[in-house]
Structures are given as C-alpha cells and as structure tokens.
Amino acid sequence: MTVATPTAATPIFTRDTFRFFADLARNNRKDWMDEHRDRYHAHVVQPFRRLCDEVSPSVMRLDANLGTGASYSRINRDIRFAKDKTPYRPQMYLKFCAPFSGPGETGELYVGLSAKTVTMGFRIYGGAKRKESSIAMIAEPRLEKNARILTQQKARLGRKYESYWYRAEKKEWREQNGWPAGLEDWKKLQGWIVRRKLPTRAATRADFAAEIAKTFRDVYPVLRFTSLAS
C-alpha cells in the first residue's frame, strides 16, 4: 500500500486531535492513556512535530536563535503541583523560547491546542525567582528608560490580540485583564500573555502554519522588548 506523503496543502491537524484531548479530559487516568497511546502519537505527537517543521523557517527569519529554542509542553503532569491530581494535561503547546544568558525565565512565542480552542501568541513568566528573569533584567530597565513602550504595543496590537497579566497578592497569582499600564504595574508583574484565541477548525485548515507565522510576526516586538538583550 502506498502511503501519501504530507504536503504543505495537507492540513496538519484533524478533528481526531481534538477528539483525543476531549476524551483524555474525560478519562484522565494512566490505564486509559496506555490503551490510547497510539492515538496520542498519531494525532498529537506526529502532527506537532510536523507543525514545528513547517513553522520553524518563519521563526528563523524573525530571529535565528529562536529556531534553536523549539520545544513541546509535556503531557505528563507533575501531580505534586496538580490540584485535581490528574496525571495528564489535555492540551499541547509548541514553544519557541527566547535565548537568555541568565538562570531565570524568559519569553516565548507559542501555539497551543486543547479540546475546545486554539491559542497562539506570546507569553512570559517570572518563574520562581522573578529578579533573575528577563521580566526584571531586560524589560524593566527598558521601561525605566522609555515608559511608552507598553502604550505603543497596546496601540499596535490591542484591537486584534487579547492581553492579560498576573500579579502576586498574598503569595498567590491574581489575573489582571488588559494591558499592564506602565512601570508600576510592571514591577508587580509575574506573567504576561498576548494572544489570539481561535476556534478548533482553524487548526484543521491547510493555511494554519501560515496563520501562526503571521501571528508570530505581530507579537515578535513584544518578545524582543521583554526578552532579547540586543
């Protein structure tokens, strides 16, 4: 039997990817996952690898160093930190992490799929030691020199992209809708997401990789501001 070779005109994902995530959410147990591991590899792992292959060239054109930082989120959850103690995450992310010389966290371009939605854009977290992250070491000094950076990015992206951020209050993260307003907000900021949220059918179209590439071009200046030293 001849097996068709995927081409750029062939959709990367199908409805089977989203059915798998929905079924996993309802049956989040090791015995179920073991029984359906072939589905996981066929409809999640292999399509995400192809997605990385198709998106990486456009990421490399933005910044060659970003292309070397591609990674996937782990579907296995560390149940020590899971409130419901379920062993798996019913979603998957492809991430392109910005290079960072420090030991802390830095920003990334990402695309994520779950049972009911597709998201893509930029995100950054302060991690366990915010003062060692690029939030504090790169972005904060830039805001001190130019307080209009956030206002400029909001004006450029605010109509098409959702923005929300997190601040720490009594050792818990609190979500804040909208854009951080300036340096005072930034000093309290623990995480920030600028994204588009799309229906699942967007991932089943043949132009999905091109849509991601366009989104990454849009949000790349935010990544550069928060995470790239040069």
Q: Which domains does the chain have, with CATH numbers?
A: 15-227 (3.30.930)
Mean pLDDT of 135-160: 96
**Structure confidence at residue 69 (pLDDT):** 81
**Structure confidence at residue 25 (pLDDT):** 97
Answer whether 0.85 is exceeded by the pTM. yes
| Structure token digits, residue 66 | 């970003």
Exposure string for 93-103, b = 16+ CB within 10 A, e = fewer: bbbbbbebeee
163: exposed, middle or buried (Cβ count in 10 Å: 0-12, 13-18, 19+): buried
d(CA 36, CA 30): 10
113: exposed, middle or buried (Cβ count in 10 Å: 0-12, 13-18, 19+): buried
Chain segment 33-87, per-residue pLDDT in tens: 999 999 999 999 999 999 999 999 999 999 988 878 899 999 998 877 667 789 9
